DNA sequence: TCGAAAGCAAGAGCGGTGCTCTCTTTTTTG
DNA sequence: CAAAAAAGAGAGCACCGCTCTTGCTTTCGA
């Protein structure tokens, strides 16, 4: 189905890419709510009905953009991780956090699309799951490497969370002590709380030097998952 | 302007309230994006054009709902704070956090409206600022009372953040040590990161026992602002 | 090779949206 | 009591997502 022979298949790939490109342009310019299939078609010089041959609905187009956005921020995180490979665990963690923040500031509408409120009555299909996990995997990797190195310093976990921690660790951190899993998940969510508040204006007249504030907060998050 | 004499003024108040009520109904049922002025008018048995006498645009109606939502979650936080007044600082903090989380789970669309991505090309006017501050004020109050009591245990603040901390403290925590202000703001943002991730599905297949997970994370946030 | 099948583009059209304008009615006010 | 202000209703504009039908072109199998 995908890699067919003819020139028609090639054209389909190109048109699909052009649609996504123009859609991404409009998304960046005006936000997800103002992304219009008709406007995309208009800009591409085709009839709006023709566009439905490529994306059966507006939500499907949005889903494609969501996956791209997850991949984009995931790549940014991975790149920062690689660049900071030689630094200490806390520095490495902070660098990744800052890369995610900078990606968010550079792509606010894409960020809103994936980490803000789900678009209008829209619920993301499972297709997005692997892409969505990339940033998390980077963070897990840092903690994993730190454990192989100097080791982790973790706060005690209440008994009621032990089963949850075991389950989490089995899922995505089987080579780490179970207690680290909930801390990691919490730090992951909190990271996006910090970024979202800055991006969506909650820090208006509250935080001025946002880069410095964020750097410090990210460092504290690192301590929270046991990095030293 | 507001409290005029006649029956017409009274009617205006009632109609305005009815519009907001129906709008809130639709918001809760379908989300902000599907909130339609025409549908509200239809449900109220009036012409859609008549509705513009009360709210000059859809965004103005949305703004009114946003303020109501901020007040609603603020009230929930304040109620939880009062109810936990006799408990220790950490317990009090955790109770407020849990109240906010429960409000969010009960009013997901309202939550998305105020803490998710800003609605479609919309930026909140300054009118919303006082209402938006209520939850934050509750959290500040807990820390303030704790300082008057057993005292705070705070991590050291890097030098680059000292001016920012001084400014923050002067703004909203003048009777607290400056170092607590950034920690408080960070915890505030992180709280909503935790809630947002749960609400918007990021914890899908990651966190199972979400109440327990949240309780623990909220407790850790309390420690982060120096509560003991 | 050639005809059938499948893929694609285009146009018209349906029901919906936010919003504006005009016209009429009702209430308030000088 | 008349003038002014406020409110409702309807038509209409430009846009939206989406569907259906109608032709055209490429692909594929007998």
Task: State the nearest Cα–Cα gap between A131 and chain B, in angstroms.
Answer: 12
**B3/B155: higher pLDDT:** B155
What is residue B197's predicted lDDT score, i.e. its pLDDT? Answer: 95
Q: Which of A168, A186, A197 sits opposite B217 (nearest CB)?
A: A186
Mean per-residue pLDDT for A193-207?
Answer: 94
What is residue B125's predicted lDDT score, i.e. its pLDDT? Answer: 67
Say which range, A88-97, A162-171, B38-47, B143-152, has the weakest mean pLDDT.
B143-152
pLDDT band at B1 (very low <50, low <70, confident <90, very high): very low
**A26/A120: higher pLDDT:** A26
What is residue A8's predicted lDDT score, i.e. its pLDDT? Answer: 85
**Which of A40, A43, A62, A59 shows the shortest CA–CA distance to A51?**
A40
Mean per-residue pLDDT for A47-63?
Answer: 97
Q: Do A213 and B185 touch (CB under 8 A)?
A: yes
Mean per-residue pLDDT for B202-227?
Answer: 96
What is residue A158's predicted lDDT score, i.e. its pLDDT? Answer: 95
pLDDT digits (tens, 9 = 90+) for A77-109: 999 999 999 999 999 999 999 999 999 999 999
What is residue B120's predicted lDDT score, i.e. its pLDDT? Answer: 39
Give residues lining strand D (CB < 7 Å). A 4-9, 35-39, 42, 48-49, 52, 56-59; B 8, 11-12, 15, 45-50, 53-54
pLDDT digits (tens, 9 = 90+) for B99-126: 999 999 999 999 999 999 875 344 566 7
**CA A18 – CA A79 distance, rounded (Å):** 26
SS3 call for A112: helix
List of chain B residues whose C-beta atoms are within 8 Å of the C-beta of residue A59: none
**CA B156 – CA B159 distance, rounded (Å):** 9
Residues in chain A, overall count: 228
SS3 call for A46: coil
Task: Tally C-beta pairs within 8 A across A and B.
Answer: 176
Query: What DSSP letter does each residue of A213-227 carry, written as one string?
Result: HHHHHHHHHHHHTT-
Nearest CA in chain A to B216: A158
User: Across all residues in chain A, what is the average pLDDT?
Assistant: 93
What is residue B5's predicted lDDT score, i.e. its pLDDT? Answer: 65
A37 CA → D16 C1’, Å: 9
What is residue A7's predicted lDDT score, i.e. its pLDDT? Answer: 81
SS3 call for B125: coil
Q: Residue B3: pLDDT above 50?
A: no
Instruction: Please give the angle made by the CA atoms of A189, B108 and B142, to the nearest 5 degrees.
Output: 60
Joined tokens for residue A111? 């960020």
Q: Residue B32: pLDDT above 70?
A: yes
Sort residue A50 into left (φ over 0), alpha (ψ -120 to 50) or beta.
alpha
pLDDT band at A120 (very low <50, low <70, confident <90, very high): very low
**B174/B101: higher pLDDT:** B101
What is residue A3's predicted lDDT score, i.e. its pLDDT? Answer: 42
Mean per-residue pLDDT for B143-172?
Answer: 92
Q: Residue A122: pLDDT above 80?
A: no
User: Across all residues in chain B, what is the average pLDDT?
Assistant: 93
| Cα–Cα separations (whole angstroms), residue A88 to A20, A91, A151, A164, B217 | 39, 5, 12, 29, 25
């Amino acid at each position: 189905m995908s890699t067919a022979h003819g020139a028609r298949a090639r054209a389909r790939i190109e048109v699909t890419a052009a649609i996504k490109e123009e859609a991404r342009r409009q998304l960046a310019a005006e936000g997800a709510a103002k992304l219009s299939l008709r406007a995309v078609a208009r800009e591409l010089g085709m009839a709006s009905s023709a566009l439905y041959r490529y994306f059966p609905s507006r939500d499907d187009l949005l889903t494609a953009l969501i996956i791209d956005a997850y991949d984009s921020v995931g790549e940014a995180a991975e790149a920062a991780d690689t660049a900071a490979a030689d630094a200490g665990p806390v520095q490495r963690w902070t660098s990744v956090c800052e890369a995610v923040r900078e990606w968010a500031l550079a792509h606010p509408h894409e960020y809103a699309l994936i980490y803000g409120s789900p678009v209008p009555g829209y619920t993301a299909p499972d297709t997005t799951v692997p892409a969505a996990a990339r940033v998390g995997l980077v963070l897990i990797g840092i903690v994993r490497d730190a454990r192989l190195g100097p080791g982790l310093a973790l706060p005690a976990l209440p008994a009621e969370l032990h089963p949850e921690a075991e389950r989490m660790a089995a899922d995505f951190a089987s080579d780490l002590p179970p207690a680290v899993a909930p801390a990691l998940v919490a730090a992951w969510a909190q990271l996006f709380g910090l970024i979202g508040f800055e991006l969506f204006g909650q820090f208006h007249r509250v935080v001025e030097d946002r880069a410095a504030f964020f750097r410090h907060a990210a460092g504290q998050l690192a301590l929270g998952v046991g990095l030293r």
